[in-house]
Amino acid sequence: MPETLIDLIRHGEPVGGPRFRGNGANDALSATGWAQLRAALGDAHPWDQVISSPMARCYPFALELAGRHGLPLAVEPALIEIGMGTWEGRTHAEVAATEGAAYTAMYQDPVARRPPGGESLDAFAARVAPAYDHQVAAHPGRHLLIVCHSGVMRALVGHLLRADAERWYRMRIDYAGIMRVRHGRFGPAIECINARTLPS
């Protein structure tokens, strides 16, 4: 079985700085966000295919990168971020100040205590995991770059390690943080999470 290598990178900082952004807040990358992504990847382009979330904080960078290096680009709608309901676009400080009990409860029990109107972690996993598995199966022996979101990356770690969703938020994924997964004879191996530069 040929090895398939998957690099995933979280988008950079969007306009407006850190906020709750799921699939209902579609802010573009800030100048800082563009710089973070460019610094993380540099001039490297070892990939055979670039795949991107369609959201404005992912796709424009993926398009620019693919165009610059002559790489094919595909959009995967299932890899949009998890929906955060009524917290979309609000800062953590604002939500903590106005809905303190709900804010604390979400981090203590992220499975049962979602933001009002937010997407469940089960529903999120049910769309993200099959989309990822499809890409792996469709590109055997290839090297892919997926430009996506912190929630997507957490869900995929959970999927690959069969870790319960309640543990996903124990992982920190920074802006432009990189994760690498190698799929080989004995299944997937996560080689790094939240790397600041592309692994060699």
How confident is the model over 183-193, as pLDDT tens digits?
999 999 999 99
In the 3-class helix/strand/coil scheme, how is the chain assigned residue by residue? CCCEEEEEEECCCECCCCCCCCCCCCCCECHHHHHHHHHHHCCCCCCCEEEECCCCCCHHHHHHHHHHHCCCEEECHHHCCCCCHHHCCCCHHHHHHHCHHHHHHHHHCCCCCCCCCCCCHHHHHHHHHHHHHHHHHHCCCCEEEEEECHHHHHHHHHHHHCCCHHHHHHCCCCCCCEEEEEEECCEEEEEEEEECCCCC
| pTM of the predicted protein model | 0.96
pLDDT tens-digit profile of 85-105? 999 999 999 999 999 999 999
Under CATH, what is the fold of the domain 4-83+120-195? Answer: Rossmann fold (3.40.50)
Q: Which residues of the chain have pLDDT under 50?
A: none
